[in-house]
Amino acid sequence: MRLHDNVPLMAETLVSAGTTETSADVREWRALLERHANLSCALDRELQADHQLGMSEYEVLERLAELPEHSAKVQQIAGSVHLSQSALSRVIGRLENAGLVERHMCPEDRRAVNVRLTDDGLQRQAEAQPTQRRVLAERLHQPLVKCEAAVTP
């Protein structure tokens, strides 16, 4: 069974206690979750295949690339990419191991850590951006299209 194969079935499941109807709000919520899962899957698959980046890794690189200094505190990044602190820490670790970002102590607040995009990270983000934009253009406003799950090495 592929990842997300059971999403449509689960999206149609009736969960309202004691009724045989699912509210419009619940149906809309499930459709939104299904669209997000499928778009995320497509982004992961394409970015991994073409650029050896996951969707979350690309998002961190892009957010840093948009900043004038290509640097931000970990807490600022977490708020913009909607990852938990621990998930973001793992993403930053992978990016750091690949030489795409560097971590530094924040000079203004020794408790905080800054993450800075390296020249290689800036280049990888620029190379991956057309792929990310293409997948968004193809899938974001189109009818839901199932995708194969990304294979992470």
Contact, 60 vs 101, CB < 8 A? yes
SS3 content of the chain, % helix, strand, coil (to 5): 55, 10, 35
Angle at 130 between CA 81 and CA 77, to 5 degrees: 15
**Strand, coil or helix: what is 54?**
coil
- The verdict on residue 1 lying in a domain is no
In a domain, 147, yes or no: no
One digit per residue, the tens of pLDDT, for the chain of length 153 reads 444 555 555 545 555 555 567 788 998 999 889 988 999 999 999 999 999 999 999 999 999 999 989 999 998 899 899 888 899 999 999 999 999 999 998 877 778 889 999 999 999 999 999 999 999 999 888 765 555 554 444
Asked if residue 111 is part of any domain, the answer here is yes
End-to-end CA distance of the chain, in Å? 19
CATH number of the domain to which 112 belongs: 1.10.10.10
Domain count, the chain: 1
Q: Which domain holds residue 109?
A: 7-139
Q: Establish if 146 belongs to a structural domain.
A: no
Q: What is the pTM of this model?
A: 0.77
Q: What gap in Å lies between CA 60 and CA 82, rounded to an integer?
A: 10
